[in-house]
Homo-oligomer: A and B are copies of this chain.
């Protein structure tokens, strides 16, 4: 009976960690949406809120990390349970860094909209990139929640699309700067926003690769999208 009790407690511990990862993921999604909204609509209050909320993301990371170490020490998980815990340890690092990038975008939004406006930048491409990254993140978290690897290869493909879009944005921004050098400063800020979104895509991709490791027991980082597809389907 003690044995059974211990197992139940272990499952409850794991479930608690899983649900907190999803909570952290939800908060990070919100931080991205709000940072982009603050940038596009010049909402400096919202930018401030994103900057102030970053510590919540950090606190969730630190707490989850500690809980993972505790679970390993006390419950000594093996096989798929251990893979789950190790996946959480890795996933929260990437989530925290996505949160950092969101806070950076919020700080850029503040700078861009507080400076003298020589130009009225349009943010269509930025918004498009951010939407792709948000979808990648949602799908990666969904895969984690459902132990489902069916979207992993697709997320990697979306990351390539985001990288391509980043290069396109870069070319456009350089053209604008050459046309009117007075706009260089503001477009460099926007360039760093695009770079931050591109980084977020990398982190979401990492997360989806960890899900494949968790479910299939195979490390597919640094491989090809075809290899991920192959592993996911078997």
Contact = CB atoms under 8 A, between A and B. Distances in A.
Given A170-B188, A184-B174, A86 B89 contact: yes
Nearest to A179: B181
A118 to B, nearest CB: 12
A3 interface: no
Interface residues of A, number: 34
Interface string A38-75: 00000000000000000100110110011001001100
Nearest to A63: B219
A90 interface: yes
Contacts of A181: 177-178, 181
B170 A65 contact: no
A221 interface: yes
A83 interface: yes
Nearest to A55: B222
A23 interface: no
A73 B62 contact: no
A163 to B, nearest CB: 12
B82 A72 contact: yes
A58 B188 contact: no
Contact of A79 (B66, B73, B86, B90): B73
Interface string A102-146: 000000000000000000000000000000000000000000000
Contact of A78 (B73, B86, B170, B188): B73
Given A69-B83, A188-B191, 11 more contacts: A55-B222, A62-B222, A73-B79, A73-B82, A89-B90, A170-B188, A177-B177, A177-B181, A181-B181, A188-B188, A195-B195
16 contacts: A59-B222, A69-B82, A69-B86, A72-B82, A73-B79, A89-B89, A89-B90, A93-B93, A174-B185, A174-B188, A177-B177, A181-B181, A184-B184, A188-B188, A188-B191, A192-B195
